[in-house]
Chain A
Amino acid sequence: RKEVEQDPGPFNVPEGATVAFNCTYSNSASQSFFWYRQDCRKEPKLLMSVYSSGNEDGRFTAQLNRASQYISLLIRDSKLSDSATYLCVPSSGGYQKVTFGIGTKLQVIP
């Protein structure tokens, strides 16, 4: 099983919609989780860190389900500027263990 699995998408949603996508992780020892966003042809940028059951920052909410080993990212009231690829990174110890998957591509359409 891969360390991180995400539906690559694309998720095409209309402006104003709520969208959620999941990230499944294989290491049950992962304690913290990180969401990055990467705009097309740009560098990844840290969006949110999750150290407990979840985190909320404005329109963005991350929820952790340890029993099923997935973390979800919910975006409310989608904006055109939310169009990007969202990368999930679970902690698993050590520099060599940092795994960036291919992420989930979100396209918000007018």
Chain B
Amino acid sequence: NAGVTQTPKFQVLKTGQSMTLQCAQDMNHNSMYWYRQDPGMGLRLIYYSASEGTTDKGEVPNGYNVSRLNKREFSLRLESAAPSQTSVYFCASGATYEQYFGPGTRLTVT
């Protein structure tokens, strides 16, 4: 039982490059979330998906897109990376307040 997995663990991008962060969960949860965490700041919700086939914006959606591929997988795409997107990205699944997080992706945009 892996819980929530994320790939990659680390990534360095140049400004303007694109990439997709992958997330998968094996807990049969309907809801999945993407957060970013910057030094000295709390988690900020980027996008969430209440169920397969639905996605909604969170607090900081600009510059990101998401895809809920199926019940297990929820991906986050950066179309044109900017240095301001340097952060740690966490995927989570579960109920609204009882969430299970993946190990995170540390992204640096130069």
Chain A residues within 8 Å of B, Cβ to Cβ: 32, 34, 42-46, 49, 87, 89, 91, 94-96, 98-103
The A interface is mostly helix, strand or loop, or mixed, namely loop
Interface 0/1 of B38-61, CB less than 8 Å to A: 001111010010100000101100
Complex Cα distance, B97 from A91, in Å, reads 7
- Which residues of B does A touch, CB under 8 Å? 31, 33, 35, 40-43, 45, 48, 50, 56, 58-59, 90, 96-104
Known: A95-B50, A96-B45. A102 touches B40 (CB 8 A): yes
Are A87 and B45 touching (Cβ within 8 A)?
no
Q: A98 vs B33: C-alpha distance in the bound complex, in angstroms?
A: 11
Contact across chains for B90 and A43 when beta carbons are under 8 A apart: yes
**Are A46 and B58 in contact, with the CB atoms below 8 A?**
no
Q: Please give the distance in Å from B43's CB to the nearest CB on chain A.
A: 4
Contact A100 B43 (CB under 8 A): yes
Query: Given the complex of chains A and B, what is the CA–CA distance between A34 and B33 in angstroms?
Result: 17
* B41 lies within 8 A of A102 (CB): yes
A63, chain B: closest CB distance, angstroms: 18
**Known contacts A34-B97, A43-B102, A95-B50; can you find 13 more A-B pairs with CB under 8 A?**
A43-B104, A46-B99, A46-B100, A49-B98, A87-B42, A89-B97, A94-B96, A95-B45, A96-B45, A98-B96, A100-B43, A101-B42, A102-B42
B97 x A44 contact (CB < 8 A): no
Q: How long is the Cα–Cα vector from A35 to B65 in the complex, in angstroms?
A: 29
Q: Kindly provide the distance from the CB of A11 to the nearest chain B CB, expressed in whole angstroms.
A: 17
9 contacts between A and B (CB under 8 A): A42-B104, A44-B43, A45-B101, A46-B98, A95-B48, A95-B50, A96-B56, A96-B58, A102-B42
Chain B's nearest CB lies how many Å from the CB of A101? 5
